Amino acid sequence: MSCLYEINRWWRSHVNLWTLYLLFLGQMVSFVLAMGSITSSLVASLGVDAPLTQSSFNYLALALVYGSILLYRRQKLQVSWYWYLLLGLVDVQGNYLATEWSCWCAW
């Protein structure tokens, strides 16, 4: 019975609405990534080879969402915008190369 009391006490002291909200946001991100993966496989099964376009769409969506949040809050970027652009391009190219590599190394 003491173990249940300790678990209940820990739960009440550590879990609040903010924690549940953050968990919900994490689940939403996972859901969107899973839907992107499913869409990618459906598009690939139709014979369309466009991994660079699909990966770029993710970054465009992120820029629109977080850019609008920054504009709404009237905050400035902590790092110059071109560094974000450079990192996005490097990551898109990395995703493209990984996709191409997986096509060449398919079992």
**pLDDT per residue over 7-48, tens digit each?**
788 777 777 888 888 889 889 888 887 887 777 778 778 887
List the structure tokens of 91: 């990551």
* pLDDT at residue 30, rounded to an integer: 83
- Checking if the pLDDT of 51 tops 70, the result is no
Q: Confidence band (pLDDT; 50, 70, 90) for 102?
A: low
Q: Confidence band (pLDDT; 50, 70, 90) for 107?
A: low
* pLDDT at residue 105, rounded to an integer: 67
Cα–Cα distance, 43 to 37 (Å, whole number): 10
From the CB of residue 44, how many other CB atoms can be counted at a distance below 10 Å? 15
